[in-house]
Amino acid sequence: MKSLVPLSLLLLVLGHPCVSQTESATDAEPRQMLARWIQAFDNLDWDQFREGFDDNATVFYPRAVPRRADGRAPFEEHFRHVFAGIREEKSGPPYMDIQPRDLNIQMLGDVAIATFHLDDRPGLLNRRTIVLHNTPAGWKTVRLPASEVATP
């Protein structure tokens, strides 16, 4: 009987969704959302892109903007300028070809944390972390801290 108690506890822990879910089962929806969101960014599809954000999202930009954007109005204002600048340089969709490298998605219940790299600027490695929350309206970006580091 004493040996059944630890075995039962072990089975309970291993059976918990946070422990036993496979990667494909746990991260399929956030992974799909990210793919749609990145495609919207590539194509500068404003409506689809902005739909990927929660109204209360916070964003840290990798350069040029020293302050955090808190909420929809500030981050949309910045991204509208980004979209306009890219449109001036390119003639049509896709405007970009964002290729996340080393994508890792950690699942924490109704939160997914996606981290990846972008090698889109010579001499710099761009790092992205996107924190997604599963809301009644679907997976939404709630935090986007972005940074870049010089590469040798």
CATH number at residue 92: 3.10.450.50
- Give domain status of residue 112, yes or no: yes
In a domain, 12, yes or no: no
The answer to whether position 123 is within a domain reads yes
What is the Cα 125 distance to its own chain's centre? Answer: 17
Q: Which pLDDT score, from 0 to 100, does residue 40 have? A: 98
Range of lowest pLDDT (15-24, 39-48, 58-67, 132-141): 15-24
Please give the sequence-ordered ranges of beta strands (E in DSSP) within the chain, or none if there are none: 53-60, 69-70, 101-108, 111-121, 124-135, 138-150
Encoding tokens for residue 33? 């959302």
> 142 and 133 in contact (C-beta within 8 Å)?
yes
Q: What is the mean pLDDT of residues 101-121?
A: 94
Tell me if 8 is assigned to some domain: no
Cis peptide before 17 (omega within 30 of 0): no
Kindly report, residue by residue over 31-58, the tens digit of the pLDDT.
999 999 999 999 999 999 999 999 999 9
Report yes or no on 6 lying in a domain: no
Structurally, how many domains does the chain consist of? Answer: 1
Structural domain contains residue 11: no
* Confidence (pLDDT) at 141: 98
Higher model confidence: residue 90 or residue 63?
90
| Within a domain: 80 | yes
Confidence of residue 66 (pLDDT cuts 50, 70, 90): confident
Cα dist from 132 to 51, 91, 128, 150, whole Å? 13, 31, 13, 27
Question: 42 vs 5, which has greater pLDDT?
Answer: 42
What is the three-class DSSP state of 36?
helix
Query: Does position 131 have pLDDT exceeding 80, yes or no?
Result: yes
**Domain range spanning residue 67?**
21-150
* 152 or 146, greater pLDDT: 146
Residue 26, φ and ψ in degrees, nearest 5: -85, -35
In a domain, 3, yes or no: no
The span from the CA of 97 to the CA of 116, in Å, is: 15
